Structure formats: structure tokens, C-alpha cells
């Protein structure tokens, strides 16, 4: 299962070569016999489900971990990498998934943080030199030099990502490792970031890209390496493989098309006479939402699309009373409601599984069972006294039903993988027994296997005559799950598209629907580019 030695010798010497590296932690082998070869000037994707060993490998390349066996060659030389600074000295820079920029500092200050250029005397920070260097690099990314003087917090997500790249390049990196660089970006900005990554490659910088979004591989990535359960599975040129083949290697079983898995079965069509369970008319939140109306029927999945910042999430927050509204009415299950907090929405039968699982979803520090029951603790309590035994039983039931991988319901939730945390949040939603669940970016940062399970949960929920609102930046996911998609633009409803049954398995139909969504989301700008 190793790349042929002969083939390795034919090509140019590798920039970085990881050979048979082993990394053990108490009780687990995080990496066994890992192999990775990165050529100069290529975009190389490192793929695998959560727990496949990708993060461990990155930390080894950064010197945060030391290998228990095997060798890491940089430019053909056996290297012991003692830490991130030594990695940088060897030309390896890493951009982590979590933003690491200091929000109140300017891009220039961020780029040179802790490594300020000094004047000849070595005592004074040479601002002019830093500014010049930053401007040169920033202009390569088509950036406006005025951006460099403002606090990073005032720049958008894409620009922040680009600043992190500039920060990596400012110190002559020959390999930039990027961990999920597009995770928080809307589609338009994602395409731009990928274009910048290709431009870096064309200038001779190698990029190791870690991503869960397989749709961004084609056209950007030269080669892919797949890991599964801490082991190397394969390395192949992107031109000789397909997304389906990659998924197959990642999960070790055939999942078929992800999107088709998410879609409504043709033999379970939406009942035309199904009653309306939610209606909102004229929702206004000054400066955020302008006259937004929507309806949702029993058994239906309504998608809300649009660019990040278009008001998608804000519609959901208004519906559950997380943000106050200035005007508008909401009817849920035939009754007018005016939720002043999510607690009211829970009582009205509406529950939201929010985006940004770590900061808005899980309560780290509480165990799995307490994370589940937090939405309706009275259901496991008798006159306000929580009955721990009943609580554990309830949690154990969900752990089994939703196949949540945890040692026990008493495990702290932060010790679970992202996909399993998301399943716990679904259990939390189900426990409050709503008939409407709103899911915001339900598969953000979770692996392929967990994604299909989340899709299955949504399908099962609506199959019981209940309803779901899905908010997603991933168009195939949005269109695959929804019966109907409403598109937001600048706080307004830009339009609505019905998704015909069976469209998810028809590539041409999906492509057309995606173009329609993007056209509505951007006001037609994308359409002109095509």
C-alpha cells in the first residue's frame, strides 16, 4: 500500500516527504505508517473523515508533535522539526481553521506579529519596510492597499483569509498548509479564494489543502492523498480520479451520490393537501430584514439560500425569538406567536440547531446527556428536581438511535468528533419534541459519513409529518434536501424555486437549479460571469 518507489524517483525531488511516520497517543494510534509526498508547486489535497489523522499529520509537519517512528524529509533532507518556528524556517507555514489574526490590529501588524522587520540598528521596528513588503504581496492578491491600515475585524471573511495567506508568504514559505480555508466562506468568495490558491501554485508555492468540501477539488487540486483511520489509503492525480472514487476511499464503502442520499424519495412525495404549520408575514428587523414572508407545510423541507450575510440566519433567529423584530407576524401550528426568546419558540414547537456548533451549539463542560436535555429539562425532572437516572436513560436512547459515537452519555461533549456533536444537537432538538426544526449549516465541518447520517435524520423527521427549514451554503445540499428553496439577498426575499422530485439525481437539472439560486442570490452577477 505504498506509492511505488520507482515512480517517486522519476519525478522532481519532493519538497516535503513523509515516510512511514507513526504517531501514538495513550490508547490510540493516531497515525500508522503515514505517507505523504508534496511536490514543488502543486496543490495537494489531504482528505479523510474526522479522525482519519489529517490534523495529527499537520501537527507533525509543524513540529507540534514529534513522530514516534518514520522520517520527515524537507527538500530531501531528514529533518527533526522542533516547533512551528522551525517549520517556518524550513519554509512550511500553516493557516489553521480557526482564525488566528488579532482582530484589533491592522493586517500589517498581523503579518509581522512577533517577527517585525527591524531597522539596521536592530532596535527599532521598520514600519516603512513592513508596509512596503505587505503592499507588494497584497497587490498580488488584487487587494486594496487601504485595507492594510484598517483593523482586521473590519475586513470580510475572504480578505481575512487572504491576509493569513500573505502572512504565510511574507516569510518565503515554499509550502503553505491550509486547514479548511473555505469553511466559513460563501460560494462566491470561496471560488475567489480557490483562484488565489491556484495563482500561488503558478508562482511555485506548494499548497497542502485540507478540506471537507470535495466539490472544490476539481480544477484546483493537482493530486490528492486520502487517509482513513490513521492510515494512508492512496495518492492519485486529480485528473485520474473522481469525487465518488475519493469518497469511496475515505469511508471505505459505497455511499453513492451524497446529494441523492439527501433527496426526497420519489415514492414519498410531499402531500399537496398537507396543512400549513408555519407562516410568517412581513418580518422586519431594521437594517437587517425587510418585509420577509414565508410559509411551511407539514412534512415539507424549506430551504433558505443566499450568500452569507444575506439575512438567511437572521430570518431563522427572528422566527425563534432570538432577535427582536420591529414588525411582522408569525403563526405556528395555527396560533399566532410572538416568541421573545428561543424558550418561547420551544414551547411553540420550533427548535433551531444553530450554525457554528462550537460557539452556539454545544455547551462544552457539560456531558452528552446534559447537552441533550438542556432544551427541555423538565421532561426528566419531577417538580424541578432532575432525575439523573431518567436523564441518562433518555440520553442512552438517543445515543443508540442516532448512532452517536461516545464512550457513554456521561462523556463531555467536547471530546466527541464534530459529526457526533452535531448528532447530539439533533438529539437535543428531538428531545424538545418540536414539529418544526430549523437547521443552520447542518453539516459544516463534519465528515462525509456523518453528513449522510444528518441527511437521514432530516428525512426521517419530515417522514413523520413534521417540517424542517434548512439553511445551507452548500448548494447541492440545499437543493438536495429541500422541496422548495427561498433565496435571500440583502435582507430581502429575492425569490423562490421549487425543486422537482428526482432533480437531485439529474446532474443537468441540479446545475440549472444551482445557477438559478446563484443568480437570485447575487442579483444576476454570477450569471454574467458564465
Partner 1 sequence: MNNNTKFDLGALLNIEGATVFFAVAVLILFSSIFAPSFLTPENISNVLVQSVFVVILGIGMTYVLISGGIDLSVGSAMGLAAAVCVYCINAGLPLPLALLIGLATGAAAGFVNAYLIVVLGFADFIATLGTLSLMRGIVEVMTASTRLNSKNPEFMFLAGGSLGGIPFAVIVALVVAIVAGVILARTTMGRAVYGVGLNPKSSFLAGVLVNRVRFSVFVVSGLCAGLSGILLASRLSSVHPAMGTGYELTAIAAAALGGASLSGGRGSVLGTALGALFLAILQNTLSLMSVNAFWFQIITGVIIVLAVLMDGGVRRFVAQRARAA
Instruction: Please enumerate in sequence order all residues whose Cβ is within 8 A of that of 107, keeping only pairs 6 or more positions apart, or say none.
Output: 134, 138, 147, 148, 150, 152, 155, 163, 166
Q: Which of 465, 85, 441 is nearest to 274 (CA)?
A: 465
Please report how close the Cβ of residue 30 comes to partner 1 at its closest, in angstroms.
Answer: 12
To partner 1, the closest distance from the beta carbon of 341 in angstroms equals 6
For the bound state, the minimum distance from the C-beta of residue 437 to partner 1, rounded and expressed in Å, comes to 13
Of 306 and 339, the one with the shorter C-beta distance to partner 1 is 339
For partner 1, the closer CB: 26 or 204: 26
In the complex with partner 1, which residue's Cβ is closer, 42 or 440? 440
Cβ 484 vs Cβ 498: under 8 Å = yes
In the bound state with partner 1, the residue whose beta carbon lies nearer, of 303 and 361, is 361
Exposed / middle / buried, residue 95 (Cβ in 10 Å: 0-12, 13-18, 19+): buried
Q: How far is the CB of 59 from partner 1 (least distance, A)?
A: 16
Q: Cβ(230)–Cβ(32) under 8 Å?
A: yes
Looking at the Cβ atoms of 432 and 472, the one nearer to partner 1 is: 432
DSSP-derived secondary structure for 51-83: TSSHHHHHHHHTTSS--SEEEEEETTEE----S
Q: How far is the CB of 195 from partner 1 (least distance, A)?
A: 34
Distances from the Cα of 180 to the Cα of 19, 95, 212, angstroms: 24, 9, 7
| Cβ 94 vs Cβ 84: under 8 Å | yes
Complex with partner 1: residue 203 or 384, whichever CB lies closer: 384
CA dihedral 401, 405, 407, 413 (to 10 degrees): -100
Rounded CA Rg of the chain? 25
Minimum CB separation from partner 1 for residue 31, in Å?
17
Residue with smaller CB distance to partner 1, 245 or 414: 414
Say if CB 92 and CB 62 are below 8 A apart: yes
Least distance between partner 1 and beta carbon 481 (Å)? 21
Residues in the chain: 530
Residue 282 or 365 having the CB closest to partner 1: 365
Q: What distance in Å separates the CA atoms of residue 476 and residue 337, rounded to the nearest whole number?
A: 33
Rounded to the nearest 5°, which phi and psi values hold at 473? Answer: -85, -15
* Per-residue H/E/C for 405-439: CCCCCCCEHHHCCHHHHHHHHHHHHHHCCCCEEEE
Cell of 507: 446532474
Please state the closest distance from residue 65 (CB atom) to partner 1, in A. 15
Nearest Cα residue to 442 out of 459, 466, 467, 425: 425
| CB-facing half-sphere around the CA of 322: CA atoms within 13 A | 15
Query: Of 268 and 378, which CB lies nearer to partner 1 in the complex structure?
Result: 378
Determine the Cα angle at 362 with ends 190 and 447, to 5°. 45
**Nearer to partner 1 (CB atom), residue 284 or residue 386:** 386
Nearer to partner 1 (CB atom), residue 83 or residue 377: 377
* Cβ at position 376, least distance to partner 1 in Å: 7
Beta bridge partners of 295: 279
Q: Least distance (Å) from partner 1 to the CB of residue 356? A: 9
Q: How far is the CB of 370 from partner 1 (least distance, A)?
A: 7
Footprint on this chain of partner 1 (rule: CB under 8 A): 25-27, 320, 322, 341-343, 345-346, 351-352, 354, 359-366, 370, 374-378, 381, 384-386, 428, 432
Amino acid at each position: 500500500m505504498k506509492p511505488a518507489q520507482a515512480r517517486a524517483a522519476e519525478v522532481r525531488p519532493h519538497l516535503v516527504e513523509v515516510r512511514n511516520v507513526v504517531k501514538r497517543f495513550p490508547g490510540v494510534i493516531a497515525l500508522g505508517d503515514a505517507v505523504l509526498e508534496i511536490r514543488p508547486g502543486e496543490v495537494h489535497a489531504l482528505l479523510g473523515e474526522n479522525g482519519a489523522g489529517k490534523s495529527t499529520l499537520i501537527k507533525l509537519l509543524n513540529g507540534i508533535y514529534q513522530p514516534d517512528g518514520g522520517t520527515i524529509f524537507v527538500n530531501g533532507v531528514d529533518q527533526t522539526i522542533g516547533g512551528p518556528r522551525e517549520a517556518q524556517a524550513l519554509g512550511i507555514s500553516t493557516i489553521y481553521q480557526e482564525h488566528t489574526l488579532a482582530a484589533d490590529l491592522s493586517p500589517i501588524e498581523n503579518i509581522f506579529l512577533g517577527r517585525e522587520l527591524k531597522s539596521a540598528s536592530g532596535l527599532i521596528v521598520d514600519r516603512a519596510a513592513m508596509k512596503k513588503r505587505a503592499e507588494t504581496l497584497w497587490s498580488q492578491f488584487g487587494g486594496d492597499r487601504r485595507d492594510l491600515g484598517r483593523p482586521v475585524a473590519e475586513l470580510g471573511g475572504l480578505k481575512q483569509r487572504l491576509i493569513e495567506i500573505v502572512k504565510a508568504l511574507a516569510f518565503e514559505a515554499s509550502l503553505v498548509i491550509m486547514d479548511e480555508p473555505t469553511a466559513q466562506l460563501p460560494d462566491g468568495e470561496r471560488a475567489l479564494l480557490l483562484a488565489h490558491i491556484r495563482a500561488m501554485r503558478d508562482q511555485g508555492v506548494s499548497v497542502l489543502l485540507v478540506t471537507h468540501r470535495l466539490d472544490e477539488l476539481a480544477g484546483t487540486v493537482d493530486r490528492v492523498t486520502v487517509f482513513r483511520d490513521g492510515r494512508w489509503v492512496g495518492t492519485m492525480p486529480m485528473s485520474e480520479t473522481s469525487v465518488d472514487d475519493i469518497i469511496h476511499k475515505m469511508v471505505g464503502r459505497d455511499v453513492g451520490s451524497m446529494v441523492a442520499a439527501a433527496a426526497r424519495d420519489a415514492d414519498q412525495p410531499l402531500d399537496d393537501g398537507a396543512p400549513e404549520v408555519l407562516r410568517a408575514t412581513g418580518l422586519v428587523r431594521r437594517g437587517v430584514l425587510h418585509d420577509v414572508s414565508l410559509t411551511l407545510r407539514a412534512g415539507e423541507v424549506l430551504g433558505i439560500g443566499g450568500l452569507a450575510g444575506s439575512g438567511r440566519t437572521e430570518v431563522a433567529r427572528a422566527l425563534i425569538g432570538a432577535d427582536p423584530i420591529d414588525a411582522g407576524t408569525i403563526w405556528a401550528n395555527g396560533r399566532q406567536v410572538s416568541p421573545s426568546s428561543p424558550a418561547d419558540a420551544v414551547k411553540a414547537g420550533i427548535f433551531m440547531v444553530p450554525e457554528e456548533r462550537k460557539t452556539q451549539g454545544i455547551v462544552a463542560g457539560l456531558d452528552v446527556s446534559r447537552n441533550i436535555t438542556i432544551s427541555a429539562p423538565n421532561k426528566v425532572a419531577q417538580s424541578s428536581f432532575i432525575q439523573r437516572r431518567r436523564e441518562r436513560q433518555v440520553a442512552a436512547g438517543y445515543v443508540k438511535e442516532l448512532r452517536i459515537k461516545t464512550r457513554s452519555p456521561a462523556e463531555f461533549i467536547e471530546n466527541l468528533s464534530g459529526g457526533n456533536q452535531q448528532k447530539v444537537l439533533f438529539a437535543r432538538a428531538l428531545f424538545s419534541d418540536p414539529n418544526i426544526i430549523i437547521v443552520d449549516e447542518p453539516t459544516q465541518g463534519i465528515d462525509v459519513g456523518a453528513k449522510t447520517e444528518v441527511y437521514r435524520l432530516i428525512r426521517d423527521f419530515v417522514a413523520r409529518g413534521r417540517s424542517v427549514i434548512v439553511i445551507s451554503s452548500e448548494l447541492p445540499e440545499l437543493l438536495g434536501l429541500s422541496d422548495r428553496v427561498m433565496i435571500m439577498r440583502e435582507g430581502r426575499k429575492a425569490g423562490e424555486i421549487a425543486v422537482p422530485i428526482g432533480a437531485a439525481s439529474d446532474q443537468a437539472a441540479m446545475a440549472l437549479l444551482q445557477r438559478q439560486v446563484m443568480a437570485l442570490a447575487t442579483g444576476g452577477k454570477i450569471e454574467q460571469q458564465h
